[in-house]
Every structure is written in C-alpha cells, then in structure tokens.
Amino acid sequence: MKRKSLRLTAALGVFLVVLVALALAAGDKYTVKVPGGLAFSEFRGYEGWQTISLSRNEKVVAAILGNPAMIDAYKAGFPGNGKPAPDGAKMAKIHWAPKPNEFFKEATVPGKLVNVDFMVKDSKRFADGGGWGYAVFDYDAASDSFKPGTLAGTPPQGNDARCGVACHQLAKARDYVFTDYGQR
C-alpha cells in the first residue's frame, strides 16, 4: 500500500512540475517568433533601452526605443549624416491604447498594451529589405502573452520578418527609418 501511495505521489508531483513548466513557457514572451526568423528573444532587454522619440495618433500612443548601437548612430547624426545605421542597431516601438491622465485629463498616457514592433539592422540577413528585419507582436491581455501580428491587427501586418519593408520604403533615403531623435 505504501508503494502505491508513493508512486501516486511521485506521479502527481511530476505532473504538477510539467504543468507549471508548460504554463511558464506559454507566458514567456521570449519564445515567440515570426516566420522568416525574427524572434522576440533578439530584443531581450528592450524595456530598458533609451527613448528615441514618442508618437501618437487617435488609436495608439507609442514610445520608440533604441539599443545602444542605434542611440550611438543617432548621436553621430543619423539619419541626416547620410550614413546608414550600423548592423546590430535595433529599435522597439511599444503601442498602448491612449487614455487620459487620472489627474490631468488633458494629458494622454499609456493605457492597455496593444503590441510591440521591432526593427533590426542586419544587412546580410535582410539584404532584400534594405538591411532591416521587422516584426510585430500583438499583445493578448487574456493570456498575458504575445503572438505575431496579422493582417487583422492594428496596424495590419504581414507576420514575417519582411512585414515592414513596403511601409518603410517611404523612408528609403533615411535608411528606412521614420523616427528622428528628439532633442535633449
């Protein structure tokens, strides 16, 4: 009888460990990837990157962040200096639904998270897209997880590493980057 109870306890323990591991893996944003190879994990630590600029429209408010290589390029005069961003430069754009500030109703602040967009400069890997790879990851509040953006998203996105190529053609003369570095 003790053996049966011990086996049952061990089996239950293994089941619970597997269940917890699966739950943790499901919520890990760094495991998600878009077709074409761009993964959320390539942008690990983006939450701590320096702010490049802000953006806002009626649907979203956004913070545009850059990794140290991108910030260094901006400080060196990018894009006005005519030099392309270096390989390894990365940008993140975090979109939230806008909401009025609780204390100053005229001020807009981030509300619910909508999605996160990423760009990475890798002229070999993304030679056919001006050297940039793109990804959009939509946030699902119900599961507290991210998934690759789709054509049904806001803004509509193809969900591969080339999703931003057509849109960013407008900024080809600026190495495909729309955003200016806000004066400090």
SS3 content of the chain, % helix, strand, coil (to 5): 30, 30, 40
Q: Give 4's pLDDT tier (boundaries 50, 70, 90).
A: low
Q: What is the pLDDT of residue 3?
A: 57
Radius of gyration of the chain (CA): 21
Q: Give 125's pLDDT tier (boundaries 50, 70, 90).
A: very high
pTM: 0.81
Q: What is the pLDDT of residue 12?
A: 36
- Average pLDDT over the chain reads 84
- Residue extents of the structural domains in the chain: 1-31, 32-174
Token reading at 3: 């053996």
CATH number of 32-174: 3.50.70
Q: CB–CB of 63/91 below 8 Å? A: no
Judged on CB neighbours under 10 Å (0-12, 13-18, 19+), 43 is: buried
* CA 20/CA 168 separation, integer angstroms: 41
Task: Say which residues have a Cβ less than 8 Å from residue 180's Cβ, sequence separation at least 6.
Answer: 53, 79
Question: Residue 21 above 60 pLDDT?
Answer: no
* CA 23/CA 36 separation, integer angstroms: 26
- Each residue of 63-81: pLDDT tens digit? 999 999 999 999 999 999 9
| Cα-Cα-Cα-Cα dihedral sign, residues 50, 140, 163, 61 | negative
| Cα-Cα-Cα-Cα dihedral sign, residues 163, 29, 57, 84 | negative
* CA 123/CA 133 separation, integer angstroms: 9
Q: What is the pLDDT of residue 157?
A: 66
Residue, of 101 and 9, whose pLDDT is higher: 101
Strand partners, 66: 50, 91
Q: What is the pLDDT of residue 158?
A: 66
Provide the 3-class DSSP secondary structure of residue 18: helix
Rounded to an integer, what is the distance from CA 50 to the centroid of its chain? 14
Q: How many CA atoms lie less than 13 Å away from 33 in the CB half-sphere? A: 8
Give the Cα-Cα-Cα angle 136, 165, 119 (nearest 5 degrees): 45
